[in-house]
Structure 1
């Protein structure tokens, strides 16, 4: 199966999840707006989400996948199964102990780590603590689920792991729809969402667990024991966890700082949901697929294939991400009006702030996606320390800029800090790959990048003037359907401009894409575990 098709498999599941995520956020914006319960829920959910990225997705996609792939190559399925059971026993025990400790210390954690700005608002603080207490066990489900997903990705079974997150949004949409139908108040909605998150974690774990069993890997529980393989995993996982969760770490820092201003936490969350669509569909799909593929190429000593995988992945991410960044930068306000401006959100007049945050996130989007494409170049070589150092530097930069800008700019200042830190991190990752000789000079890539930037810039200009042409249709006073039609038409025009310029200037090449797909099909292994 070609790299492009593998990207598409993962991206399709992620796209489905993100679209449903938009629907969920639209319901939430109407029900809660940027009010105190919205702030409390988003701050509380940030805690298990951060730990999930630190100890689950980051650690296991970065450390577990290469080691699991190596076990398959060296000792077959039986060796890989034994290794996964050793890891499962240690992981489950550690997660259980962490969850109990965090539940007992939750008031202190919310007061001093998650939302220190809520400490002086008794009602808001108490609700945040209760919601965080309900949702934190979600971490156990999602961390074990991430391990199962890593196994599936190594076995080239991408679909179940990609589609499982959809159920979080399905369950939360059901909760919101029920609350709306029954006319429930904001506090009921907040608690319903918290229990929905926990239920979704159980459902998602069940899906990937069944998929792993269907792949012939029946993972049992072993008494926790630090074997040499587990020790190696932990040695790699700690820095990998920090690196893989860098975006989430920065978001947690942003949430803590934003808690000092009413509505800032929820404003950041609503803007984050929009830019997570291209980041999730492109960046996360590339990172998930690239790591096991790159690990295999390096283990077999095929350096040419490894270099080609890295360069084509960056080419693909930029080709898909640059137009999204241009659209978010130019059309952030019409997008926010269409998605969120109704109910409590409109009553709070939250559109200008959320739109400003979204435009700034658009500037940082290519960097966030490039980080996902660059880090597998380290992780596949079992180097998790270097990206961790860069992640730590970017966190320091993020905190410094956020604290400097927040008093004068508010929530948009936190977005500026996140974007700057993202670009710095991406630049450092690329520079060291080049210095070590792990990133070969690729003439097609170097010639295409400026042409893609030009195409995205011209698309942005077209959208800028198009937005003014449709100003009346895109205004707050217009009907929802009118705004949707006008925005869709603008996006279609922008896409036409981008693709015409990209292909006309040589920034993209259909022939190259076709050859890559055919070459991938020719190389595709015919093992039973190829795809679900």
Structure 2
């Protein structure tokens, strides 16, 4: 399982690196002004669906039903189930897309109410949103294709597809922009082009895997109804982080120009470990848990979840500490070029520190939610998720004026920790989660090592190291941070070298390194 997670994570890391290249170009060309705000609002709905469907929520509804059908009934019924879901989604999403494009001004009134005060900004956001909206149709179908591939153990193609999102936008930016005024439009067209390319790639991957899907007339079969019943709750339960970020966009539109943009860039940096670790582990954990629960292997399911939690926290806790300690050098080095000023970088860095506080929680949600979905329980994550969204909204309204963008980011992080606490408590009560001594001991040691590393990084920011050119100083800080955490963590037993080596070897050895339940 962990080896497959590393495969998914490697492709996701490649996508995130290209995403940074994309965002560096956007920041240099648009900065953090009205045009950037308009584009990022136009990108919010496509991004919401891309992350919800592409990072596990659709799989949470589809994979358990598909794998059960494949195991109990065979290849042909499983393929028919996938084809039925495809047909239903094609029709529903086409209607949704048409309505969205017709009533886009009303959609933008809900998504960015503050834009109405600036007619030119609002008009640009409506225009760009109409261009990007067809991407929703394409990416949801891509998620279905990816779900079939993942359920059959083909993780690489589905994980590689998001790279095309960034390649397409970067390509469109160079080919179509012409002049500065057309940059937002070029970016919007790049989003749609990426959907077409991803759709073609995943469709070809299905054919190569021997499971091509034919387009049928929509049929509400019992299997399809089961998937659809789980899909809505699954989207809310597994996608609370993205729903909260959408709430952040709504509130940010009511604050001064550039707030939407600086929050976007802060979230982008925070999303690197979140996407690489959370999405990767969540993608491969759900099929594993589904198999264990279907066979009544409760101890094995608990062990798999414990090792996934341990591995995730080993990466996210020091990552969060580092983002909080050196957020300003990161934002300046990555984005403070062209139209993106030092002041914009400082605003983004402050928001990044607040988002980093919730980084481990954002990842843990992606690991605890599959524990419910694998057992067929979609209601519990939904109830908790809706409570977390309500808490985030309430905190946003309280903190938006005194803390500006920092208050918005901090609200999201607090809501994420609330979500994790409730999921863990209820999953433990139902027997799906039993933290063992090894997990508890390791987490305590990881926290200590992460705190020590953060103190070291803050101290280093006051040394001559920071007089080096920006990129060299940042590389030095990151290198020393990794080295410091490694030495301290190894010294106090936060991890073992043999286990890390095991992750990088053959799948069987990698799984064995983290699948043990004993401490």
Cα distance in structure 1, aligned partners of 2:98 and 2:447: 49
Shift of 1:511: 3.1
**1:521 aligned partner:** 508
| Cα distance per residue 1:425-444 (max 9 Å; x no partner) | 01111011111121124111
**1:376 aligned partner:** 370
Cα distance in structure 2, aligned partners of 1:55 and 1:323: 28
| Cα distance per residue 1:130-150 (max 9 Å; x no partner) | 100110110011000001111
**1:84 aligned partner:** 82
**2:59 aligned partner:** 61
Cα distance in structure 1, aligned partners of 2:326 and 2:54: 34
Cα distance in structure 2, aligned partners of 1:255 and 1:520: 41
Cα distance in structure 1, aligned partners of 2:209 and 2:291: 19
Rate the CA distance shift 1:331–1:517 in 2: closer, same or farther, 3 A: closer
Which stretch has the larger CA shift, 440-449 or 146-155? 440-449
**2:209 aligned partner:** 215
Cα distance in structure 2, aligned partners of 1:178 and 1:520: 42
Shift of 1:232: 0.9
Written as runs of structure 1 = structure 2, the 5 A alignment for 1:257-268 is 257-261=251-255, 262-268=257-263
| Cα distance per residue 1:216-250 (max 9 Å; x no partner) | 11101111111111111111111101122211111
**2:325 aligned partner:** 330
Cα distance in structure 1, aligned partners of 2:308 and 2:482: 21
Match of 1:140 among 137, 151, 161: 137
Shift of 1:301: 2.4
Cα distance in structure 2, aligned partners of 1:231 and 1:80: 14
Rate the CA distance shift 1:321–1:511 in 2: closer, same or farther, 3 A: same
Pair 1:304 & 2:299 matched: yes
Rate the CA distance shift 1:325–1:56 in 2: closer, same or farther, 3 A: closer
Pair 1:498 & 2:485 matched: yes
**2:515 aligned partner:** none
Rate the CA distance shift 1:354–1:522 in 2: closer, same or farther, 3 A: closer
**1:320 aligned partner:** 315
8 Å contact kept, 2:38–2:121: yes
Match of 1:172 among 165, 169, 172: 169
| Cα distance per residue 1:347-396 (max 9 Å; x no partner) | x7312110100111111101101111111111111111100111000000
SS in 2 for 1:373: helix
Written as runs of structure 1 = structure 2, the 5 A alignment for 1:426-437 is 426-437=420-431
Pair 1:248 & 2:269 matched: no
| Cα distance per residue 1:25-55 (max 9 Å; x no partner) | 1111100000111000001110222244456
Contiguous gaps of at least 5 residues in structure 2: 512-519
Written as runs of structure 1 = structure 2, the 5 A alignment for 1:129-528 is 129-178=126-175, 182=178, 184-185=179-180, 187-261=181-255, 262-346=257-341, 349-470=343-464, 472-473=466-467, 482-513=469-500, 520-521=507-508
Rate the CA distance shift 1:449–1:253 in 2: closer, same or farther, 3 A: same
Cα distance in structure 2, aligned partners of 1:304 and 1:40: 50
8 Å contact kept, 2:164–2:197: yes
Cα distance in structure 2, aligned partners of 1:171 and 1:364: 31
**1:108 aligned partner:** 106
Shift of 1:518: 7.6
Rate the CA distance shift 1:487–1:470 in 2: closer, same or farther, 3 A: farther
Cα distance in structure 1, aligned partners of 2:507 and 2:175: 46
8 Å contact kept, 1:145–1:208: yes
| Cα distance per residue 1:131-181 (max 9 Å; x no partner) | 00110110011000001111111111101111110011112122334467x
Cα distance in structure 2, aligned partners of 1:179 and 1:432: 51
SS in 2 for 1:175: helix
8 Å contact kept, 2:465–2:473: no
8 Å contact kept, 2:2–2:510: no
Rate the CA distance shift 1:13–1:439 in 2: closer, same or farther, 3 A: same
**1:528 aligned partner:** none
8 Å contact kept, 2:298–2:432: no
**2:517 aligned partner:** none
Rate the CA distance shift 1:515–1:41 in 2: closer, same or farther, 3 A: closer
Shift of 1:335: 0.3
Cα distance in structure 2, aligned partners of 1:197 and 1:440: 43
Cα distance in structure 2, aligned partners of 1:66 and 1:100: 31
Which stretch has the larger CA shift, 247-256 or 137-146? 247-256
8 Å contact kept, 1:4–1:517: no
Rate the CA distance shift 1:381–1:246 in 2: closer, same or farther, 3 A: same
SS in 1 for 2:128: helix
TM-score by length of 1: 0.93
SS in 1 for 2:42: helix
SS in 1 for 2:358: helix
Paired residues in the alignment total 510
Rate the CA distance shift 1:224–1:37 in 2: closer, same or farther, 3 A: same
Shift of 1:19: 0.3
SS in 2 for 1:301: coil
8 Å contact kept, 2:502–2:510: no
SS in 2 for 1:382: coil
